[in-house]
């Protein structure tokens, strides 16, 4: 006997299978439909495969022993991601509603799941489009030679270079000072940085135009935004393989450090990355699947998208590691050349007497015979493995590592334009799902007038989002982007995913869900899907959630700042967050996570009060 919680009135809230057959035949004009299956798959691929595949996933590989991270990631992709992906595809296709409508139909007390998804989609969309604004800034500035971040600017007198740039690097200076003009603290707003405001306006205008009529316009755009990144990645892979050190980088990626597999944080980060990779619990996938024909094979779609997402993560990481290998080799060669020159000058040796091949032997000899002299020299340690493992988190991988490597390529402006067009397409196609996850729930909740056309709903949503996004246009904007990235898409996504699985398996009923899939696909899910949805996937999410909360609770909240006055400069300085940041973190992570139980509690109080009032009215009517 299967455990199913009492759910009175469910059959009255959802369409019967006979109703679905009739709706599928009659549903001509009142609900949008995909033009074809390819458009739907490309939209889902575009939504799932985003900017994070280029910078978040490779960074996690760097941080967790290269190929060692691929093992738990691919395992959890199948055990955690694929079952939840099927759940969202199937429930949206069966109930023909958006994220709020689906959970309200299953049980009105579950409406908070849809509200939480809407909030997460909005919060992630806000900072995600800020990244697109930065990408547009770099794209606009790529149409010049030399690239503006390839050399330091002159000082005010024109007699030398800007000291801040000379002390750091051209790419760091261009990103932190020219592009963002970063302040030294999140508490120091520094006012509005107007170039970023213009780029934000352009970014939200593009999203608004592409999504102005919902999937009828965004569905056309994905033919470019979803396919073009794969073509550009292929071009970069071919170019990357010709660079010196590329195979060293790829070898580092696919050589696992087995010790990393014993660390809980490796599995924790792999599980969290699965939610990012699939865009699970954002609400967009449920809405997209609701536009499918009722007999669409959603189970096959889940497996296809799992394969595409896993392949893209490894594919993009391979491309990224050719660049990382090239950059590390360049730094290693420069380090060795500097050390060799130092030894040659110190001991007045002939020019070719020390080379890379005999450097270690020469250094050992002079260090043992003349230790006092060698000790006084500026000999730097040159470690290729350390250079390959230097993690540049998040945005730094795209705006610093890639831009630095591009400047060293012949025809660098062309490669820069290609790279940022690819990032732009990845970002825009993902934003379509975020906007879908906000606009459709707003309609379901009747927050905006029902008579408004789709164009007005999209326009108002984008205008409001642009105004809120001005938070990121401050000089402290990058620190707010980091805060949103760390907290808006962490605990809330895990919590929503857990509630979704509990709702379907134990409130809607796993037997009913199986029958629905049999009706839509033609056969019931196998034992793998049954066990995964009821036990394995929820257990994995609970473990990840608990470990995440425990590790976060033990760590001091710090963030990295660009501070020329810091002793560690040009390295970013790690500083503690101000105390008031806890309120901001609660709004980002706490409010979406608590939206589900709080809504259920409020509804319980409302229904109880309503029943009492109605019962009193009936008593008074008795003569």
Q: What tokens were used for 534? A: 């009821």
- Alpha-helical (H) ranges within 390-536 are 395-396, 403-407, 412-444, 454-469, 477-487, 491-502, 510-521, 527-531
Q: State yes or no: pLDDT of 221 exceeds 80.
A: yes
- Tell me which of 338-347, 415-424, 576-585 is least confident: 338-347
* Residue 1 clears pLDDT 50, i.e. is over it: no
> What pTM, to 2 d.p., does this model score?
0.91
SS (H, E, C) 581-621: HHHHHHHHHHHHHHHHHHHHHHHHHHHHHHHHHHHHHHHHH
- Give Cβ neighbours of residue 285 (< 8 Å, ≥ 6 apart): 44, 47, 85, 88, 89, 92, 278, 279, 433
Per-residue CA distances from 122 to 389, 464, 476, 562 (Å):
34, 11, 21, 28
So what's the pLDDT on residue 376? 81
Distances in whole angstroms, Cα of residue 108 to Cα of each of 232, 492, 602: 46, 20, 11
pLDDT digits (tens, 9 = 90+) for 141-186: 999 989 999 999 888 887 788 889 988 889 999 999 999 999 999 9
pLDDT value of position 91: 96
DSSP assignment of 498-516, as one string?
HHHHHIIIIIIIHHHHHHH
Q: Residue 45 and residue 42: Cα distance in Å, rounded?
A: 5
Give the tens place of pLDDT for each residue, 566-616. 888 888 888 999 999 999 999 999 999 999 999 999 999 999 898 888 777
């Amino acid at each position: 006997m299967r455990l199913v919680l009492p759910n009175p009135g469910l059959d009255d809230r959802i369409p019967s299978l006979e109703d679905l057959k009739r709706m599928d035949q009659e549903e001509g004009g009142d609900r949008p439909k995909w033009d074809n299956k390819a458009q739907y798959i490309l939209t889902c691929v575009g939504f799932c495969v985003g900017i994070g595949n280029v910078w978040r996933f490779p960074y996690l590989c760097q941080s967790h022993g290269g190929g060692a991270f691929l093992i738990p990631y691919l395992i959890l992709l199948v055990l955690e991601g694929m079952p939840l992906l099927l759940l969202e595809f199937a429930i949206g296709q069966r109930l023909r509603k958006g994220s709020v409508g689906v959970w309200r139909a299953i049980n009105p007390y579950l409406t908070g799941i849809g509200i939480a998804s809407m909030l997460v989609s909005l919060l992630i969309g806000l900072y995600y489009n800020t990244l697109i604004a930065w990408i547009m800034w770099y794209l606009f500035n790529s149409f010049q030679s030399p690239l503006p971040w390839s050399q330091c600017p002159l000082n005010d007198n024109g007699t030398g270079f800007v000291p801040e740039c000379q002390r750091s690097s051209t790419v760091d200076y261009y990103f932190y000072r020219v592009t963002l003009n970063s302040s030294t603290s999140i508490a120091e707003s520094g006012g509005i940085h107007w170039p970023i405001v213009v780029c934000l306006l352009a970014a939200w205008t593009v999203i608004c135009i592409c999504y102005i009529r919902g999937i009828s316009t965004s569905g056309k755009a994905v033919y470019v935004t979803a396919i073009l990144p794969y073509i550009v990645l292929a071009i970069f892979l071919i170019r990357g393989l010709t660079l010196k050190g590329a195979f060293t980088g790829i070898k580092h990626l696919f050589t696992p450090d087995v010790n990393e597999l014993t660390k809980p944080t490796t599995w924790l980060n792999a599980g969290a990355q699965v939610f990012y990779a699939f865009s699970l619990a954002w609400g967009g996938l449920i809405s997209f699947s609701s536009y499918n024909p009722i007999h669409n094979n959603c189970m096959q779609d889940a497996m296809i998208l799992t394969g595409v997402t896993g392949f893209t993560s490894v594919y993009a990481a391979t491309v990224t590691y050719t660049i990382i290998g090239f950059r590390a080799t360049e730094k290693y060669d420069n380090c060795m050349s500097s050390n060799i020159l130092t030894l040659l000058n110190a001991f007045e040796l002939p020019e070719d007497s020390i080379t890379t091949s005999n450097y270690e032997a020469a250094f050992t000899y002079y260090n043992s015979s003349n230790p006092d002299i060698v000790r006084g020299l500026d000999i730097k340690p040159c470690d290729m493995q350390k250079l390959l493992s230097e993690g540049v988190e998040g945005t730094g991988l795209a705006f610093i590592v890639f831009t630095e490597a591009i400047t060293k390529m012949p025809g660098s402006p062309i490669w820069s334009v290609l790279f940022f067009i690819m990032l732009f397409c990845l970002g825009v196609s993902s934003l379509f799902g975020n906007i879908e996850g906000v606009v459709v729930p707003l309609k379901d909740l009747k927050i905006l007038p029902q008579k408004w056309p789709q164009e007005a709903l999209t326009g108002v949503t984008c205008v409001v989002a642009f105004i809120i996004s001005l938070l990121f246009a401050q000089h402290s904007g990058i620190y707010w982007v980091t805060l949103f990235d760390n907290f808006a898409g962490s605990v809330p996504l895990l919590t929503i995913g857990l509630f979704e699985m509990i709702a379907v398996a134990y409130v809607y009923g796993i037997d009913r869900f199986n029958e629905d899939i049999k009706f839509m696909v033609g056969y019931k899910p196998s034992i793998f899907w049954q066990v995964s949805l009821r036990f394995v996937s929820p257990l994995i999410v609970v473990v990840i959630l608990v470990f995440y909360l425990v590790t976060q609770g033990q760590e001091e909240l710090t963030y990295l700042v660009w501070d020329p006055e810091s002793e560690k400069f040009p390295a970013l300085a790690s500083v503690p967050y101000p105390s008031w940041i806890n309120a901001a973190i609660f709004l980002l992570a706490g409010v979406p996570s608590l939206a589900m139980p709080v809504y259920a509690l409020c509804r319980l109080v409302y229904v109880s009060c309503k029943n009492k009032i109605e019962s009193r009215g009936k008593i008074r009517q008795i003569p």
